[in-house]
Chains A and B, each alone.
Chain A
């Protein structure tokens, strides 16, 4: 049995730390519809945590609770050992939680570079007047952050589209730019909502590589929702399985794969 408080070292040598975020008895209701029913799980420092489940299981709602977009009806979210009160989404971003969206949410009117620079907004501090005259502070800050952004651009191999307006890019690249924008914020936790949806095999492989590299090089904790089981089983350290808003499985991929409730949920089971 692994020591659950101290963390452990994975088979490929990555170190999984203590609990970074804990979700306790989360229930989320929209009017009469219960999207999430009494779910608890934790996210550990440095791990890749997958959330899977059939359509409508409440995965995206769960991600929205983590990202602070939804406030849970019941239950509490604990981050770095403190209970997180009700917050506005932009305040959650300032805590170091970044995300990508299932259907890309980039700023179409801006260039790739500007889009990624928006990821660093929470880190940029220069005031209105400094920016208005582009004296000292604002200009220097812009260059310092540009340098960081260029590293991410290199890392994700999108140098050649730097100045292209995002609206003109193909789907796969947009997904990558969105990942770049999320990474630019230097998040503690990175939430990826179906990062591989609608991609071909090569694009998926690229994306997998980037996710693993991000986790490995920056030590970013990653929470991802994905439908491609192969990807989930390969990438993740631990998997939460949801069905109809309830948690039906939680553990390492191999354990989840052999869990009877999970198999039933995915393959269907005769009810009598």
Chain B
């Protein structure tokens, strides 16, 4: 009834091209933005920040990054954890080497360094596709973790082999280190996520996005209409790794505070983010958000229900939780292989006709 495009006439191509062409969608987006920027920072506490919001925001950045590579450009990657580690170690080295530069700049630079590494490991994609490429990126994952473990320069020769984020502030507010408030953590990640989502949306709706999707859907035809496969795949790897690097930098510096590479950025992380992208919906920015929310919130929810609600022992609940999440993923993918984004799309199409479907 309220969700209509009827009467909402577009008089220019710019209006027709906007991200939310339906007025109700647009309003919903602004409301969500207002809630995220105004309401949540006022009420957030340490538990909500650490258990829900900060990991969700960071995983959403990583999922958008991986979605660009897998969902838009069609290049499978299992190296996400490794690339996040590059971002984390890059930001660590930058933070300790240049303590006076704002952390925001460091995070972006860490993204840039990860982009360069991503391009390097993306080069094989010119020759190999599909599962074979997945195996090649898997090699990147193991190599990078091994590298950060073996070369002491990366962790500044610390005795534990861990990296620990020093206290850094922006505009007088701490965003890393022990003194950081929940609000600061949340806002810092939110601003970066907003930027990343905006850039991702812009890139995917324009020429570059079309090149990526053309390569994904049919690479031979893409080449014949004038898409250079080399530069297209490399930009996909670069942009994707840039975002994943930012996510890795935030994950280490803002969320964890201290990290050991094998534990924080192991192969599990690669799979987790790949699951987010698949469950959320390949080739959809909204899907990246949905997938990240699903896999961050579900364990928290289950833990609260099982331990808090039913009073089960924590270790039992932890195992059951894994099984339930795994089972749900399977059920979910059988029911809707195109992910949450597709469910959302179908719901919106139905809603447009509701309550008079004829």
Contact = CB atoms under 8 A, between A and B. Distances in A.
Nearest to A135: B202
Contacts of A122: 225-226
Contacts of B283: 109
A208 interface: no
B300 to A, nearest CB: 33
Nearest to A142: B206
Contacts of B228: 88, 90
A117 B211 CA distance: 10
Contacts of B14: 139, 143
Contact of B217 (A67, A69, A93, A109): A109
B221 A107 contact: yes
Contact of B207 (A106, A131, A182): A131
For chain A, which range describes its interface: under 10, 10 to 19, 20 to 34, or 35 or more residues? Answer: 35 or more
A107 B219 CA distance: 9
B347 to A, nearest CB: 17
A264 to B, nearest CB: 35
B303 interface: no
Contacts of A105: 218, 220-221, 224
A119 B114 CA distance: 32
A215 interface: no
A118 B17 contact: no
A146 B17 contact: yes
Given A90-B223, A90-B224, A90-B226, A142 B213 contact: no
A98 interface: yes
A255 interface: no
A181 B202 contact: no
By size class, the interface of chain B is 20 to 34
A89 B226 CA distance: 7
Contacts of A90: 223-229
Given A110-B213, A131-B208, A146-B13, A121 B202 contact: no
Interface in B271-301: 283
Contacts of B13: 142-143, 146-147, 150
A143 B206 CA distance: 11
A132 B195 CA distance: 10
Contacts of B202: 131-134, 138
A108 B223 contact: no
Contact of B223 (A89, A132, A146): A89
B352 interface: no
Given A105-B221, A109-B283, A131-B206, A185 B213 contact: no
A118 B210 contact: yes
A93 B227 CA distance: 9
Interface string B1-36: 000000000001110010000000000000000000
A42 interface: no
B348 to A, nearest CB: 14
B11 to A, nearest CB: 13
Interface string A141-152: 111001100100
Contact of A132 (B199, B214, B217, B227): B199
Contact of B210 (A106, A110, A147): A110
Interface centre among A119, A126, A138 (most CB of B within 10 A): A138
Nearest to A67: B224
A15 B256 CA distance: 73
A67 B217 CA distance: 20
Nearest to B202: A134
A99 interface: yes
A139 B201 CA distance: 13
Contact of A107 (B17, B217, B229): B217
Contacts of B206: 126, 131, 134, 138, 142
Contacts of A101: 221
Interface string A107-125: 1111000100111011010
A147 B12 CA distance: 10
Interface string A247-272: 00000000000000000000000000
Contacts of A143: 12-14, 17
13 contacts: A107-B217, A109-B216, A118-B211, A121-B207, A124-B207, A128-B235, A131-B203, A131-B206, A131-B207, A138-B207, A142-B206, A150-B13, A185-B225
Interface of A: 67, 69, 88-90, 92-94, 98-99, 101, 105-110, 114, 117-119, 121-122, 124, 126, 128, 131-134, 138-139, 141-143, 146-147, 150, 181-182, 185
Interface of B: 12-14, 17, 198-199, 202-203, 206-208, 210-211, 213-214, 216-218, 220-229, 235, 283
